[in-house]
Structure 1
């Protein structure tokens, strides 16, 4: 999830694994990345189903030639699902139309890793030499729970 992204995206590599053909948009979308590069696309997958705690949520995913992420859920998706972010606790609450709230608790070190990546990219663009690795400890539990509106 990226509250800094206006749209939701899917990597071209990951999209190639889907058994669905993307639609062609009537325009070409120009996307600026955090590293200062630009990408262009005119392909979109409409109403892609995702499951969170056994609940289906849908997203329109614009195809981009990105490598670091399979899917980026942006403000279009976050606002459509009435998301509230608690940045301090790294928790996102989704308020569903039936009154149910889904709580997604994220990886505490993730934002730091993204910022480190951006900092390292800028260093490399200036001619520096470096090696970058991003490691996720899958042994740690990731919180995802479902609550009713009354329990908040």
Structure 2
């Protein structure tokens, strides 16, 4: 049996410093808690029922602990659910729980997979840009030049290597 951690809707209601937002799951609005203390991401059975989500058997039982209730056993999951958060689209596996007051909890699995940061000061989720230089196509560069943008072009010349025997 695996062990995972999550917050409940009751805990959310009693705290003013949590990051909550309305996001889109399968294109439908859902109430989401972003929880860096949750090891996994979760969906309420009510949300599964209301939105007609497909549940699958995990093949094992997970023990979910949170302070509002001692422990809950679950073996159901919704796999590869498309979710949109602040314009960022991704997919998430959601463990099914009897949550009250919340539709979805996005935990560390989703936060780390999406390079998302919880900005506590602004109370929002921020997505990091991928590391490295963003490449532009020649068409994009030409459009930028036409609109007056100053562009710098970096070109790499391939060197031919010869093998001397």
TM range (shorter): 0.5 to 0.7
CA deviation map 1:65-117 (0-9, x unaligned): 11121100011000110112221222321136598xxxxxxxxxxxxxxxxxx
What's 2:70 paired with? 37
Is 1:46 the counterpart of 2:82? The answer is no
Q: Counterparts in 2 of 1:2-151, with a 5 A limit?
A: 2-95=35-128, 97=130
Q: Is the 8 A contact 1:9 1:61 kept in 2?
A: yes
> Cα gap change, 1:28/1:77 in structure 2, threshold over 3 Å: closer, same or farther?
same
Q: Which has the higher contact order (CA 8 A, sep 6+)?
A: 2
Partners of 1:35 and 1:59 lie apart in 2 by: 25
In the alignment, structure 2 segments of 5+ residues that lack a partner are 1-33, 133-165
TM-score for the superposition, normalised by structure 1: 0.58
Partners of 2:131 and 2:48 lie apart in 1 by: 31
> Cα gap change, 1:27/1:56 in structure 2, threshold over 3 Å: closer, same or farther?
same
Cα RMSD, aligned residues only: 2.0
What's 2:25 paired with? none
**Cα displacement (A) at 1:10:** 0.4
SS in 2 for 1:14: helix
